[in-house]
Chain A
């Protein structure tokens, strides 16, 4: 079974631009969560989608948005990029998105550098 895939793996953008990252979950998984990882703040939860609906949201500004398609693939978008958005963006998938009962599987991440 293929793991979680994320594209692109690396991205360089300039301030003010926008970016779209893609995540393909493990086949059969309906929950996709997005995280931002930086050396200073660690892994921070962005949002979670289940069956095309945003079910949970972290404390990030509205510039960060996402969506999920009917095949469970998910995209996240960051508009008006700032230098502080430079980070590793990770997505994780699970069957139903209940970490108390099941394992989350992480993708390799997209490394975003904002200049």
Chain B
């Protein structure tokens, strides 16, 4: 069956450290992968898009990798801050219909 898996357990890290979140998928062949941030009571906010032929993408303190062989994307936040605390969602763009399929998200908590 098709699955997108993100760590269901919350990730707790200390301020200043690098947070690494994982998105694994099975039985999908996405051409694109997106990462979103969602705060409580709000809709997701788009962060980054990475294409299958791009191994890595950066935006300020954010870095995303996409390994189509491992079927995995890693999302890194360097020099993390308490304001980075939120739920982070990965989403695959699949098929010709451009549907977005979301993972269930990982909650990140950054402690001062």
Contacts and interface: CB of A to CB of B under 8 A. Distances in A.
A binds B: yes
Interface of A: 4, 33, 35, 41-45, 55-56, 58, 90, 92, 97-100, 103-109
Contacts of A103: 46, 49
Contact of A100 (B31, B45, B102, B105): B31
Nearest to A58: B99
Interface of B: 31-32, 34, 41-46, 49, 51, 89, 91, 93, 97-105
A104 B46 contact: yes
Contacts of A33: 100
Contacts of B46: 103-105
Nearest to A9: B41
Contacts of B45: 106
A90 B49 CA distance: 20
A56 B99 contact: yes
Given A4-B43, A90-B43, A99-B32, A42 B100 contact: no
B43 A42 contact: no
Contacts of A45: 99-102
B43 A108 contact: yes
